[in-house]
Each structure stands twice: as C-alpha cells, then as structure tokens.
Structure 1
Amino acid sequence: MKLDKKIIEYLAPFKKDISRFLKAVKNYDRIAVFRHATPDYDALGSQFGLATWLKDNFPNKDVCVLGDNHVTYTNRVYPKTDKIDEDWFKTPFLAIILDVANLARISDPRYKNAEFIIKIDHHPEIEKFGDISIVNVKACATAEMITNMLLSLKGHYVLSKKAASYLYSAIAGDSGRFQYSSTSQVTFITAAYLLEIGIDITEIYQTMYLRQIDDLKIMGYIIDNFKTTKNGVAYYLLPDKVLKELNITTERGKENVNLFSNIEGIEAWCSITEDIKDNCWRISLRSKEKPINELAARWGGGGHALASGARLNNISELDKFIGELEALFTE
C-alpha cells in the first residue's frame, strides 16, 4: 500500500525506531503483548490488532496477549486474553507494551521478566521505559500509530481484515467515533487505509456500542442523581451499594460518563465510582475544551488533555476535588 505524504511525514521522527521494532520482532521466538489495566478500546484494539498481525506474519513465533479481561468488551468485541504458565516467562522473550505511560499501570507485572521491551504509546510521557520507546502524542490513538507503522514496513507483510478490524475499533473508540479534538487528517487517512482492507464498520460499531435493557436502568439512575456546579461541572457518584443494586461492576461505572458531552453549559464532567477491591473511588474525567490532565495527575491519575482518569482515596476528598475542577472554569 502506497502511503500518503502526510503519513510519511507523521512517521518520519520514528523511522529508526520502527526499523528497530521490526528487527526485535524477528529476533525473538516468544513475544508477549501487554497494555494498561482497566483497558479501553484503544488498549484492547491495539493489543489484539498487533498480536493478530504478529501471528499472521510470523506463524512460527509464540505470541501471547496478557492482561485483565474487560467486563463488557471481552467476548463481545475482543477475545479473552491468554492464561500463560509461569514457566513460559523463564525463556527469553520480547515484551511489547501498548497504550500506557507509566509502569505502574501495566496490566500484568511479568513484563519485568522480558529480555527486551518495546513501548508504543500516544499519551504524554510520564515515565521513560523500554529499550525502544515509540511515543507519538500527536496520534489520536495508539492504534493509529501502530497501523501506520505496520503499513510502512518494507517486505511482504500482511495486515489482515481481522487485525484491521481490531485496530479500527481502537481508533474509533479513542477518537469518540472521530469527534474528539485529537482527531486529525492522519486519523481519517488511517481509517481509509483500514477500510480499503475490507473491514465492516457497521459490524464493528454494532459490537462496540450494542446496549442491553439493563443499561437504561443505569442511565436512569445517573439522570436522576447527577449533580452540577455553577461553573458547568457535572458529576455522578456510584457507591458500591448502588453498583450492587444496578448489578454492574466498578469497571462499568464509567461507561456512561459521556452522557454529558453534548449538554449546553456543561464544560467538564466525570463519573466517580467506588472500588471496594482497591479501597478508593475511581474518577473518569472529561472536558470540552480546557485541559484537565494536570489536575488528574495531582489526584493520582493522568491521561489526555480532555480525557483523563484520577482517584480519591476517600469520599471525604470529593468536595476538594470538585472545587479544584470547578476552579479551572472560573472566569
């Protein structure tokens, strides 16, 4: 496939590392693909897209996909991750870590056993790691970078419809179906490449955004219980008791956060979900225009300028967090 001039320019700063990436892949018989905990579409789509490409083009290599499964997306959009015996990690292997800016967020600590590590990401760099680090903050999704990397490789490499479908789902998910400000000309060119391969976007969207009747109950609870501030901050709380009543997990608590994305007068919004297991409250934070990632970093999280995550150690911190968030929008 002939690459567009904009894609060539987009990849130019990473040309040397992309070559090193391919060399490392060729050098290892065992490859483990990792990504961040509590995965989203980009984490999962990038992971399964790259792993599928590796299996398609290097069928004699032992490739595994590691990390926690997603309560909703697994089985519906993506396969289950692999369960690998500890002995597997005693033989030298290559770890490819996707869509994660810091080591603490990697969903499986066994990357530490790798002989060689490659990092591919699009988040602002929090922590430098990896023998090869390919970080493109201009990319709307890690999958956008991966797609163009793979298409740029010289040789008889195939990007199958299956791999392309996973990568498209990741790009669509992290760009908000091409609505977020991170969406660029490159994003659309990349999507066009994937369409040319023959993916079925109707089927992809149906699996990604299919809802159940029970989802209406969750949305109803949020609509009945959300709160707003005078400066345009909207938020809702999902204590563990409510999660049990609604029959949903902590991970699903944030799935409806974008109910507020198109509401006039709402400038920032978040879901705040109790996590009994980790003894904290998890925040999924969004903004229309003003960056919120620095605030998120101060509250134990981070992410993109307009889409980040954070956490409260105790619900007593809620007023302080909302106050700091609201202060960003004080004229």
Structure 2
Amino acid sequence: MNIYKKIYKEIKKAKTVVLAHHIGPDPDALGSSLALKEIILNKFPNKEVYAVGHPTSRFSFLGKLDKLPELKGKTLLIVTDTPDLHRIDSANPQKFFKSIKIDHHPFIEKTCDLEWIDPEASSACQMIIELVSKTRLEITPKAAVCLFAGIVTDTNRFMFEYTTPKTFKLVSKMLEETNIDINKIYNELYLRPYKEIKFENFLSSNFTITENGVAYIKVTDDDLKKYDVDVATPGNMINNFNFIKEILVWATCTEDKNNKIFRISVRSRGPVINHILERHHGGGHKFASGVRLQNSEEFDEIVKDLDAITKQYNEN
C-alpha cells in the first residue's frame, strides 16, 4: 500500500481528526492544515475535524483555527509542515491514538507513527494537492484558496528552487477544477499599508553587511513601536531582500518582548544555511530557516557562522 492510501485509510477510520502545524505559522503551515480540514469534512461530513494552533491576524483570510478539543477515543493527529517535535503548535503526537506527518522539510527526527516526507516538494500545500490527486478526496474552492496561498508564499511566487514542473501541473489542475480568484489571493498576501513600506526601508537602510555578503539586523521592540508594526512583520518581509546583488545571506533578529524571546529568520541565495540553525534548535530548508532564541547574543554566534560558510561558498 502506497503512502497516499495509508494516509487516506487512517483518515477514513478516525472519528476525530486534529490538524496541527508549526509555531509562528506562515501561509504554508496554515494553508495545509486549514485546507486539509475542509477537504476531510467535504468527504466525511460526520467526522469531527479541528485545525489547531495560535491564530495570526496577518493571514486571517485563510480561515479560523480551533482550540484543541478534549481527546477522546481514537483521535488521529495530522501534523503538516513541521519536521520536529518542539516546533509543533498546540499538539503532542504522543498523546494521540495515531499520528501522521506530512512535511517537505529535510528529515530531523521521527515524531509521528506514519510519516510522509518529501524534501523535493515546494511546500506542504503541494503535498496536500498530491495526496488528493492520488485518493478519493476532493479539493473545494475554499481549500484551494488556502493551498494556493501556501504554495505562492513558500515558492516566493514560483521563483524558488523547489518550484518544479510537478508544482505547476498540480496547481494548474487545481485552478482548472476550482476556478478560484487568484488575483484576490495575491492582494490579500501582498497589498500592504504604507507604514510597512517605511519599515521595510528601515530594515534595508540599517542592515550591517559583511565583506562576504551576509546582511543582518537586530530589530528592537522600540523599532516595532516606532513604525507601528507587529513582531511578525520582519520575518514576513524576509523574502523581499532576495535580489540585492551584494547580499548572499540575510538575517533578521526581532525582539518579541511579550514572549521574552528573539525571532530569527534567515534566507540565502547560495550557501546552505539550515544546518547552522539546527545547531541552535531551529531549522528549515537549505535556503530558508529560522529559530527562536532566549537572548540576542546567540544571534551574534549565528551571524558569525553564516559569515564563515558564506566566505567558504565564495572561495569555491
């Protein structure tokens, strides 16, 4: 039995399904779990299905998240877009009768009973479309909005390396079948208030750039207040600096005063960076990774390591 049929079989058997994703969710994390909730309920309307996690106002157009219900009986957990245990938001696979992982990050650790990991996929949302195409599930227009948003953002509008012919084929078929308004989705994702444009200018104007091409900045709580933006904004803007000629690797360190942590986002246009973040209990993809730290001094260590690998990359 192939992985698609195994996942479908577990979904079909379960009376209750809980869907979870990673902390600090992006549209791929939110989109994959919210879309799968809609897809499961469309096929099995009598099941109880919950997509759980902490809400984020920036992507509220994708749908609302649920509170984790009291676990009764044989509840199935499906975790999307999350490679390791400590980054799962609001759910612990060990407390569920059965658990499934659907993820496109490089393998870090086994967290679920059944795991489908495809590092060649552009996104978890692409994997959900693939799952549907191989089973008796169907994508509704509501689910398609979530899935398209997840793929568009994780591929940076189909520009990143893992955008493949398979990506275009799956997306094209979904658009033909659901006829969703993609311009409306692009507006939800990319129309921004003027204050964010000014804040982006603040970031680009205040980057420190090393001789090897690593750009970095520490964003304080006072900076966020000055520009009237929230703590997620610097991380959401990280892809906007992808085409600066003098920069190969760029990173933001944002003070999250409420949670007493520092949010780190790193991107690369060449050097592989995920192993650097994994040393600090973070991770992600080869060219897009992040971590949450207890102090900003640890960010200095990360920058030093990023600069070293970028120097090595330039010399090769």
Moved runs in structure 1, 4+ residues, more than 4 A? Answer: none
1:131-210 alignment, distance < 5 Å: 131-153=113-135, 155=136, 157-197=137-177, 198-210=179-191
3-state DSSP class of the match of 1:90?
coil
Q: What's 1:11 paired with? A: none
2:11 to 18, 25, 31: 25
1:44 matches 2:26: no
Q: What's 2:264 paired with? A: 283
1:316 matches 2:297: yes
1:259 to 204, 229, 240: 240
Q: How far apart in 2 are the matches of 1:258 and 1:39?
A: 15
1:101 matches 2:87: no
Structure 1 residue 235: Cα displacement:
1.6
Structure 1 residue 199: Cα displacement:
2.0
Q: What's 1:325 paired with? A: 306
Q: How far apart in 1 are the matches of 2:276 and 2:68?
A: 38
Gaps of 5+ in 1: 1-14
1:99-138 alignment, distance < 5 Å: 99-109=81-91, 111-138=93-120
Structure 1 residue 323: Cα displacement:
1.8
TM-score w.r.t. the length of structure 2 is 0.93
1:79 matches 2:63: yes
Q: How far apart in 2 are the matches of 1:223 and 1:120?
A: 35
Q: How far apart in 1 are the matches of 2:67 and 2:239?
A: 33
* 1:171-226 CA-partner distances (Å, limit 9, x unpaired): 11111110001111111111111111112211111111121122123113213322
Structure 1 residue 103: Cα displacement:
0.9
1:304 matches 2:285: yes
Over the residues paired in the alignment, what is the CA RMSD in angstroms?
1.7
Taking a change above 3 Å as real, the CA distance of residues 263 and 194 of structure 1, as seen in their structure-2 partners, is: same
How many residue pairs match? The answer is 311
Q: Is the contact made by 1:165 and 1:194 (CA closer than 8 Å) also made in structure 2?
A: no
TM-score w.r.t. the length of structure 1 is 0.89
Q: How far apart in 2 are the matches of 1:81 and 1:262?
A: 34
1:56 to 42, 59, 64: 42
Q: Is the contact made by 1:92 and 1:115 (CA closer than 8 Å) also made in structure 2?
A: yes
